[in-house]
Amino acid sequence: MEKHILSKSTYIKGEQCLKQIYLTKNQPKLRDRMPPERIAIFSRGTNVGIYAQDLFPGGIDAGPKHYSQYRKAIETTAQLIADGQEVIYEAAFQAHHTLILLDILVKNGDAWDAYEVKSSPYLTETYYKDAALQYYVLVNSGVNIRSFSLISIDGNYTYSEEIDIHQLFTIKDVTEEVKERMPKVALKIDEQLGVITQEDAPQIEIGPHCYKPYDCDFIGHCWKGVNRPSIFEIPSLNKEQQFDLFNKYKTLEHCLESPDLNQINRMQIRSQLSKRPYKNNEAVQSFIPKYEEAYILKVLSFKPALPRYTGSKPYQAFAFGFALQKIKANGSKGDIIRYMANGKKNPNDIVIAKLKEVLEENIPIFTYSSSKDISIPFKTIDLSELIRLGHFYRPKITKDYTSKSLAIAMGIRPPFKAIEMDIVAAQYYNDIIDGHKDTQDRMLRIRDFLDRELRILSGLLFAL
Ligand code: SF4
């Protein structure tokens, strides 16, 4: 059996951009380093597929234990089918140089029903594309497929004592949709195989496709030619707006001619061009109350794909920890109070109770919150609003308003392998309460992250 050339994930890369599949196959060293926050997003909900297997119990897992064992997985699947196995998990098939691993394959009379599990509550176009590819490979491998369904999470499911998988999951038969897409899939595979064997990478300009549906792996390589500072470093514009302006005006200076820019966009462009920070003293002063002493507070939250606490829903956000520090107007700081719930019970309630215990009344509380996932029952002053509202800006804030971007702008560098984003801390917490073997290390990293977040917050407050 020939080694496959495409897989489900590489096919989706090729669907996004033919240059991406060319580079993936021919110049993988040009790939960007995967940021930990993207890894955290991908690993969210990895155990959802295992839960979904219980919808069809008694199956045997045919999947490869290592990515290099794909051939063995295909042979194991074929053997299980020949042996009359009725339910197969991670069934492997190859056709037209393309390998797929199907989450669940179930015998139905003399045919098979195929199921692919998605850990999301929504079925996106990408999921249909990937289902169509799987259906194509299954049919062309000679499997008699009766139906193809996508299994997703029902976002309205409410947890009570234990997970009821029949309520948690929604099964949608997409056989007609994937059948309709079959001829297109064949053409797309041929197109991708053709591009991969070309001498040179296809000439494809950068565009919004570099970020849709996923951030491309080769942005660092393809975007080298964009002169800096560019319109792509203006965080108050979304990607579509940035590309519109880039295509119309090319240079950042000329973008200022656009009538479509608002005041914040203009201020950020001017700041980028002059490399001078911006501060609207009057607006900042009216935003920040006068204080002798104040708190700086960082609250961490996580959103488990599978609900854990009675009355909660999939992907519901829960606060799980915080760090709090008292500061004085003269710049002195008190001890840091840190807390992290053990996650056995709803951590949100415990975190709020703990905060109530330690917070003194009538002292302003400053936060820097780029996410609005959780609300805590205390009046807080979110300093990220100052940047969002255009009252404060530093030209090194180029991507977004997260504290990671702010830390770069303020020259606060994280140590090697440190957590830099809330989503990574959330993933680590999820690992901890799942009993991950590196629990101690993860706890220390979350603690370091909390401390650094307070440093960023106090640095910003004193700079205002
Ligand atoms: S960065 Fe953009 S143009 Fe380059 S390979 Fe990726 S998607 Fe294609």
C-alpha 229 – ligand 1 centre gap (Å): 20
Q: CATH number of the domain at 6-196, out of 3.30.470, 1.10.3470, 1.10.1060, 3.90.320?
A: 3.90.320
pLDDT band (50, 70, 90) for residue 438: confident
CA-wise closest residue to 45 among 166, 158, 151? 151
Q: Would you say residue 410 has pLDDT above 90?
A: no
Mean pLDDT of the 308-317 span: 94
CA-wise closest residue to 345 among 322, 318, 306? 318
pLDDT digits (tens, 9 = 90+) for 170-193: 999 999 999 999 999 999 999 999
* Alpha carbon distance 197, 178 (integer Å): 28
pLDDT band (50, 70, 90) for residue 371: low
Tokens coding 162: 């234990």
Q: Would you say residue 46 has pLDDT above 90?
A: no
Q: What percent of the chain has pLDDT over 70?
A: 99
**Could you tell me if the CB of 206 is within 6 A of ligand 1?**
yes
Q: Would you say residue 325 has pLDDT above 70?
A: yes
pLDDT, position 464: 85
Q: In the predicted model, what is the mean pLDDT of the chain?
A: 93
CA angle at residue 393 from 212 to 228, to 5 degrees? 55
CA-wise closest residue to 208 among 405, 17, 402? 17
Mean pLDDT of the 229-257 span: 95
Instruction: Kindly report the protein residue whose alpha carbon is nearest to atom 2 of ligand 1.
Output: 210
pLDDT band (50, 70, 90) for residue 2: confident
Q: CATH number of the domain at 281-463, out of 3.40.50, 3.30.70, 1.20.120, 3.30.420?
A: 3.30.420
Tokens coding 88: 């197969």
Q: Would you say residue 423 has pLDDT above 70?
A: yes
Q: Are 295 and 317 in contact (CB under 8 A)?
A: no
Mean pLDDT of the 144-150 span: 97
C-alpha 14 – ligand 1 centre gap (Å): 10
pLDDT, position 370: 58
Instruction: Kindly report the number of other CB atoms within 10 A of residue 281's CB atom.
Output: 10
pLDDT digits (tens, 9 = 90+) for 250-307: 999 999 999 999 999 999 999 999 999 999 999 999 999 889 999 999 999 999 999 9
Q: Would you say residue 40 has pLDDT above 90?
A: no
**Could you tell me if the CB of 195 is within 6 A of ligand 1?**
no
CA-wise closest residue to 318 among 352, 368, 295, 354? 352
Q: φ, ψ for residue 233 (rounded to 5)?
A: -105, 20
> Taking the domains of the chain in order of start, what are their residue ranges?
6-196, 226-276, 281-463
Q: Is 76 helix (H, G, I), strand (E, B) or coil?
A: helix
**Could you tell me if the CB of 267 is within 6 A of ligand 1?**
no
Query: Which one is predicted more confidently, 37 or 389?
Result: 389
Mean pLDDT of the 85-111 span: 97
Please enumerate in sequence order all residues whose Cβ is within 8 A of that of 66, keeping only pairs 6 or more positions apart, or say none: none
For 127, 129, 190, 206, 440, the CA distances from 22, given in Å and listed in that order, are 22, 19, 13, 15, 41
Q: Would you say residue 456 has pLDDT above 90?
A: yes
* Alpha carbon distance 185, 130 (integer Å): 10
Q: Would you say residue 45 has pLDDT above 70?
A: no
Query: Which one is predicted more confidently, 412 or 284?
Result: 284
